Amino acid sequence: RKEVEQDPGPFNVPEGATVAFNCTYSNSASQSFFWYRQDCRKEPKLLMSVYSSGNEDGRFTAQLNRASQYISLLIRDSKLSDSATYLCVVNGGTGFQKLVFGTGTRLLVSP
Amino acid sequence: DAGVIQSPRHEVTEMGQEVTLRCKPISGHNSLFWYRQTMMRGLELLIYFNNNVPIDDSGMPEDRFSAKMPNASFSTLKIQPSEPRDSAVYFCASSLSRRGLGSFTEAFFGQGTRLTVV
């Protein structure tokens, strides 16, 4: 089983739609969770950290479900500029652990 | 803040040649990661350092790959000899790890080195 798994998509949605991505992780001791965004031919950039209580940043909401070992990203009122690949990032438990990236979910928002 | 700086941005080399990629992490960060990204395999972690010490190099594909971090502000990834299948984008990222808590702050990426081996 991969450490971090994501549906590669692509998710094709119209402007204004709400879209949600899930990401599952295998290490139950993981403590740090992030969503990154990567535009074509660019480096990944942090979109938001994911906290245990869930967190929201404008149109973006991130949730963590430790019992089922997944994190989610919800995007409301999609914009054309949201088209990108969204990467789930998880690290392991105690001590020094890797930051492991999922393969990403591609989102295409159309007019 | 200059961010993570990688050089060169692009490298085209012939098979069999040695390639050296360079990275300057963000000042104050104690963790440094080298990743490789291809369409087929996505982002793969090659190696990471903590306080200049290699912690996990299990992702390094084979002996042709080596990485060093002689000090807190510089790291290199070397491929010798290079092969066409090494063609990819190589990213360096840095982060601050909190020892004992086993957690990281966000990782910041450099702009990457696009390597083409012909």
* Residue A2 pLDDT class (50, 70, 90 cuts): confident
Question: Residue B54: what residue type?
Answer: P
Query: How many angstroms separate the CA atoms of B50 and B27, rounded?
Result: 14
- The tens-digit pLDDT sequence of chain B (118 residues) is 689 999 999 999 999 999 999 999 999 999 999 999 998 888 888 998 989 999 888 889 889 999 999 999 999 999 999 999 999 999 999 988 776 555 667 889 999 999 999 9
- Judged by DSSP in three states, B86 sits in helix
* Residue A6 near residue A68 (C-beta atoms within 8 A): no
* Residue A97 pLDDT class (50, 70, 90 cuts): low
Closest alpha carbon to A58 in A71, A70, A47? A47
Q: Mark out chain B residues that contact chain A at CB-CB < 8 A.
A: 31, 33, 35, 41-43, 45, 48, 50, 55-56, 91, 93, 95, 97, 99, 101-104, 106-112
What is the share, in percent, of chain A residues with pLDDT greater than 90?
68
Contact list in B for residue A31 (CB cut-off 8 A) is: 101-103
Contact list in B for residue A46 (CB cut-off 8 A) is: 106-108
Residue A94 has pLDDT above 50, yes or no: no
Contact list in A for residue B35 (CB cut-off 8 A) is: 101
String of DSSP letters for A38-104: E-TTS--EEEEE--TT-EEETTEEEEEETTTTEEEEEE-S--GGG-EEEEEEEE-SSSS--EEE---
Size of interface A-B (CB pairs under 8 A): 60
B106 → closest Cβ in A29, A49, A93: A49
A25 phi and psi, to 5 degrees?
A: -130, 155
- What's the confidence (pLDDT) of residue A100? 85
Q: Do B102 and A99 touch (CB under 8 A)?
A: no
- What's the confidence (pLDDT) of residue B103? 66
Q: Do B104 and A99 touch (CB under 8 A)?
A: yes
